[in-house]
Amino acid sequence: MSRKAALLLLFILLVVCIGGVFFLVSLFTPSAPTPRAHSYLVLNLEGEIPDYPTARSLFQKEEPLSLWGISQALREAAGDSRIDGLLMSVSSPGMGMAKSDEFLGMLKEFRKAGKKVHVYLEVPTLKDYYLASEADTVTLMPSGELLFTGLSFETVFLKNLFQKIGVTADFVHTGDYKTAGNTFTESAYTPAHREIMDSLLDSFYSRFAEVIGQRRGLDRNAFDAMVDKGIILPEEALETKLVERLAFRDQLEEALAGEGKKLSKLPLSQYIPRPDQRKGSRNIAVVFLQGEIREGASGEDPLSGTIVGASTVADAIKEAAKDESVKALVLRVDSPGGSAIASDLILRELERAAAKKPLVISMGDYAASGGYWVSTSSSLIFADPLTLTGSIGVLAGKFSLKGLFEKVGISTDRVERGKYAHMFSSSEALSDEEKALLEKSVRGMYSRFLSKVAKARKMKVEDVDKIAQGRVWTGKDGVSNGLVDKIGGLQEALAEAMRLAKLSPSTAGVCEYPKPRSRLLADLSDLELLKAYGGVLSPRKAVQRLPYRNFQALLLVPSYPVLTP
């Protein structure tokens, strides 16, 4: 075979392969659903519920479940005459308090459109019941119980463990309320740390009492008495009108369908319109920033979960700012913080975009530390009453493994040039001189942080300092102290962006950034993160990069405990 014929054959094979891939994608990609009359959307609220999916498979039959997707589906279904309502179950979903509040707001709007919401519960916690509080009816499994054991914050402290294994946590921070390092340096709450936790828990518990009390006719004393029972048996739950019926799920569906009929159901995740199935204009760009903020690309970290990569988000902001069809931007922040350098890189692109187009900030569960740093790009910030924000402070340090190395028989040696060449080495603790140098760096970063907030919020630096000091505030508190402008969720922020851009809500469309990665590319990217961390793929790199990770990854991250309902 001649060389020319071989090249032609290779080209034909390549075209056939590419065509085959596109054929398979079109074959497996679902089309828009066609609900039958009197259908119910079905939502099983469980597992992690992110703001927006970070990865999507080309061949999956439905959209990954997210708060944004749920919102789109319910708004679409509110005007769909074929949809009668929503059938929902709740089983300890991964949603913070701000997301939970936004979700209840979505259900309220859905019901205002004349749709019904029916919830089925098996053994609900107080928070599960809270997420069901906006329903028309709540059905409890006949043998189920209400686990109303209250709310608590529980924080893990590792100081004593570290002492036993020979690890020293060397951290410096600004303000008594910058408590991220306390997990490693303390054995219990400090007075300032406990003050924060008590304040946040009071806010959360009061919100539960307010919402559940309004829906079930309970004043605060009655609510407290209900919670103090701990476990409420099914018959008692029915008698006290905390639930409408005791039944199994199939019995609930039979009751909704009518005698002798079968309920027409459609998974809500299949009803969410995929981006390639939407029509119309795309005038508002929503940029999702969810997870710990770091340099490089976004991905998943085996220890930290979802990572906000500065390069990924900055590129997305540039793309949205350059798109002439995009008239305004909304930044959705759901991040507890991260690297100051990465936060500043994102902030720079946001400031450049804001110079061209209106920019509105929407805060989710968290918008603290680095999450608040990037929020200084706009003078218009929306937050939920229970968003955790602020934490304006800086933390830096490292872990010294010298004692551990000695216990397990590891020795190190080195040659170096420069007085501080081993400053971030994991084999030595910080000297007094090195700690003083690090404190100087932290004070400088904190001063820049205060200046950014003061400029964005039109406040004096000394006034910002009074509400900073690493202190975490709720969104409601943020409105009072000037860190937040308005109470509201993502939909309110979108409406404001449309108003600023002089767009009509009836014709304006929305596009999302960054675009979700394909599942295959996401997995490959996550392998790269594993390599960077060391993981099981490259233990030598783990040792090489550990000092950097110690110092950089914890620079702005506040400490949030686990809420155990």
With 50 as the cut, is the pLDDT of residue 40 above it?
A: yes
Residue 12 burial (10 A CB sphere; 0-12, 13-18, 19+): exposed
Note the pTM of the prediction, 2 decimals: 0.84
**By C-alpha distance, which of 358, 383, 374, 379 is closest to 283?**
358
Percent of the chain exceeding pLDDT 70 equals 82
Q: In terms of domains, do 266 and 374 share one?
A: no
Average pLDDT over residues 538-565: 36
With 60 as the cut, is the pLDDT of residue 492 above it?
A: yes
With 60 as the cut, is the pLDDT of residue 50 above it?
A: yes
Q: How many CA atoms lie within 13 A of 405 on its CB side?
A: 15
Instruction: State the pairing for strand pair 299-301/305-309.
Output: antiparallel
Radius of gyration of the chain (CA): 26
Q: How many CA atoms lie within 13 A of 506 on its CB side?
A: 0
With 70 as the cut, is the pLDDT of residue 23 above it?
A: no
Q: In terms of domains, do 248 and 307 share one?
A: no
Q: Is residue 11 situated within a structural domain?
A: no
For position 258, what pLDDT does the model report? 85
pLDDT tens, residue by residue, 371-395: 999 999 998 999 999 999 999 999 8
pLDDT tens, residue by residue, 94-130: 999 999 999 999 999 999 999 999 999 999 999 999 9
Q: In terms of domains, do 331 and 403 share one?
A: yes
Q: Is residue 221 situated within a structural domain?
A: no
pLDDT tens, residue by residue, 324-371: 999 999 999 999 999 999 999 999 999 999 999 999 999 999 999 999
Residue 322 main-chain phi, psi, to 5 deg: -80, -25
Instruction: State the pairing for strand pair 395-400/168-173.
Output: antiparallel
Q: Is residue 175 situated within a structural domain?
A: no
Q: In terms of domains, do 119 and 241 share one?
A: yes
Residue 261 binned pLDDT confidence (cut-offs 50, 70, 90): confident
Pair of tokens at residue 306: 């979802």
CATH of the domain at 473: 3.90.226.10
Q: In terms of domains, do 375 and 483 share one?
A: yes
Give dist(CA 347, CA 353) in Å, integer: 10
Q: Is residue 162 situated within a structural domain?
A: no
Helix, strand, coil distribution of the chain in percent, nearest 5: 45, 20, 35
Q: Is residue 537 situated within a structural domain?
A: no
Residue 433 main-chain phi, psi, to 5 deg: -65, -40
For position 275, what pLDDT does the model report? 58
Q: In terms of domains, do 259 and 383 share one?
A: no
With 90 as the cut, is the pLDDT of residue 515 above it?
A: no
Give dist(CA 203, CA 478) in Å, integer: 13
Which range of 293-297, 393-397, 492-496 scores highest in mean pLDDT? It is: 492-496
Q: Is residue 29 situated within a structural domain?
A: no
Beta bridge mates, 147: 125, 231
Instruction: State the pairing for strand pair 510-513/284-290.
Output: parallel
User: In Å, how far from its chain's centre is CA 505?
Assistant: 26
With 50 as the cut, is the pLDDT of residue 21 above it?
A: no
Bigger pLDDT: 287 vs 549:
287
pLDDT tens, residue by residue, 76-90: 999 999 999 999 999
**Domain interval for residue 266:** 39-145+233-271
User: How many C-beta atoms surround the C-beta of residue 546 within 10 A?
Assistant: 18
For position 558, what pLDDT does the model report? 38
Average pLDDT over residues 299-327: 89
Scored b (16 or more CB within 10 A) or e, 255-269 reads ebeeeeeebbbbbbb
With 80 as the cut, is the pLDDT of residue 555 above it?
A: no
pLDDT tens, residue by residue, 402-433: 999 999 999 988 898 899 888 888 888 999 99
Of 212, 246, 271, the position where a domain reaches its end is 271
DSSP character for 276? G
Query: Tokens 């804001």 correspond to what residue?
Result: 354
Q: In terms of domains, do 247 and 365 share one?
A: no
Q: In terms of domains, do 478 and 374 share one?
A: yes
Q: In terms of domains, do 260 and 289 share one?
A: no
For position 311, what pLDDT does the model report? 95
The domain tally of the chain equals 2
**What's the chain's average pLDDT?**
85
Q: In terms of domains, do 82 and 139 share one?
A: yes
Of 207, 242, 271, the position where a domain reaches its end is 271
Of 243, 271, 299, the position where a domain reaches its end is 271
Instruction: Say if CB 392 and CB 450 are below 8 A apart.
Output: yes
With 90 as the cut, is the pLDDT of residue 520 above it?
A: no
403 Cβ partners below 8 Å, 6+ apart?
165, 166, 167, 168
Q: In terms of domains, do 373 and 248 share one?
A: no
Instruction: Say if CB 77 and CB 112 are below 8 A apart.
Output: no
Q: Is residue 404 situated within a structural domain?
A: yes
Give dist(CA 447, CA 367) in Å, integer: 19
Q: Is residue 157 situated within a structural domain?
A: no
Bigger pLDDT: 35 vs 238:
238
For position 3, what pLDDT does the model report? 65
Q: How many CA atoms lie within 13 A of 144 on its CB side?
A: 25
Residue 442 sits at the vertex; the CA angle it makes with 441 and 445, to the nearest 5 degrees, is 90
Q: Is 470 helix (H, G, I), strand (E, B) or coil?
A: coil
For position 61, what pLDDT does the model report? 55
Residue 540 binned pLDDT confidence (cut-offs 50, 70, 90): very low
Q: In terms of domains, do 266 and 317 share one?
A: no
Least confident range of 160-169, 172-181, 201-210: 172-181
